[in-house]
């Protein structure tokens, strides 16, 4: 059996034992952004207000050469991230400070680089990721907050958290999540393994913390929408199981708004020694796995 010949592709996967072409280096960045005014992560032909284009322009200026990048997971318009991870290949030799402070000075206030690290050729922001975690923030109160109107999802209905937790249990594990994927989802398989779905109260917020190896398009927002319907009493917790079993998006049809959603953590094998950062956002100053217990207002 003949070995496959490796051909370099910019930012692409590099097989074990292979290296980047001479003079190239691979750099990873930890990125935070507020998605309120942005059109999502992925670059678009007719709209420059995307996270990817903002970053590529800023990095290219610092590198003094055109730079393209790859991210751990694309986010939709209005969705936020505290711990997005990207990587890019470059011939530029710059100190870590330049990839952080230098890039930040070239970007608007709502996109920020928090750390930078030169990584091995085998690191890939998307394909090396082993687990991803999102937090969905719901403000359940009679009046919408003026300060966090674009940072949380608001409902004037009281949500029954015990019912939401009972419904969430049906989603843990490996399932066909066809009922929770967007119609335009391009994933080859609807099967995903949900490793954790915790629901707790943090001050006046109800927070959903969802972890999986990977997610389908709109999967977390659809889960949040279904669980909010259960929390409002519009549906029983058993309905969640029925929606999942239907394997049909029309069985639920409830998608929660984007502005309550945050990508808060991406885990990689320890061999890459990437910096660790608190998951956030600032409204939820708790480590991963601490959402299950209710935290009273301070």
Q: Is the dihedral of CA 126, 106, 37, 66 positive or negative?
A: negative
Catalytic-role residue among 76, 110, 160, 176: 76
Q: Is the dihedral of CA 159, 165, 166, 171 positive or negative?
A: positive
Extract the tokens encoding 184. Answer: 């335009």
For residues 55 and 84, the answer to whether their CB atoms sit within 8 Å is: no
Among this protein's residues, is 76 annotated catalytic? yes
Q: Is 134 labelled as part of a ligand binding site?
A: yes
Helix (H, G, I), strand (E, B) or coil at 47: strand
If you count them, how many residues does the chain have? 298
Q: Which residues are CB-neighbours of 166 under 8 A, at least 6 positions away?
A: 230, 237
**∠ CA 59-46-150 to the nearest 5 degrees?**
75
Q: At what angle do helices 161-168 and 238-246 cross, to 10 degrees?
A: 40
Q: Return the number of other C-beta atoms located less than 10 Å from residue 292's C-beta.
A: 12
What CA–CA distance (Å, rounded) separates 184 from 266? Answer: 24
What CA–CA distance (Å, rounded) separates 295 from 223? Answer: 23
* C-alpha 258, offset from chain centre: 12
Extract the tokens encoding 280. Answer: 């956030």
Which residues have a catalytic role annotated?
Answer: 76
Which positions make up the binding site for substrate? 134
């Amino acid at each position: 059996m003949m070995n496959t010949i490796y051909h370099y592709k910019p930012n692409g996967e590099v097989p074990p034992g292979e290296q980047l072409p001479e003079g190239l280096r691979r750099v990873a960045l930890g990125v935070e952004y507020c998605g309120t005014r942005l059109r999502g992560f992925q670059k678009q032909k007719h709209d420059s207000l995307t996270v990817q284009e903002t970053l590529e322009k800023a990095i290219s200026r610092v590198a003094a050469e055109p730079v393209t990048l790859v991210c751990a997971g694309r986010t939709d318009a209005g969705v936020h991230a505290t711990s997005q991870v990207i990587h890019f290949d470059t011939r530029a030799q710059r100190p870590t400070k330049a990839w952080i402070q230098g890039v930040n000075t070239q970007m608007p206030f709502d996109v920020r680089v928090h750390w930078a690290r030169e990584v091995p050729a085998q690191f890939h922001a998307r394909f090396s990721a082993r687990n991803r975690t999102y937090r969905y923030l719901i403000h359940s109160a009679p009046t919408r907050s003026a300060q966090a109107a674009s940072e949380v999802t608001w409902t004037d209905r009281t949500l029954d958290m015990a019912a939401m937790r009972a419904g969430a249990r049906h989603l843990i594990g490996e399932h066909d999540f066809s009922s929770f994927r967007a119609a335009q989802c391009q994933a080859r398989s609807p099967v995903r393994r949900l490793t954790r779905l915790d629901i707790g109260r943090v001050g006046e917020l109800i927070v959903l913390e969802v972890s999986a190896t990977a997610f389908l398009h709109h999967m977390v927002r659809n889960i949040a929408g279904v669980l909010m319907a259960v929390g409002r009493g519009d549906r029983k917790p058993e309905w969640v199981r029925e929606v999942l079993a239907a394997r049909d998006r029309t069985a639920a049809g409830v998608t929660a708004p984007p502005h309550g959603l945050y990508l808060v953590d991406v885990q990689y094998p320890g061999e890459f020694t990437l910096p660790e950062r608190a998951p956030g956002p600032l409204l939820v100053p708790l480590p991963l796995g601490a959402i299950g217990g209710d935290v009273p207002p301070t």
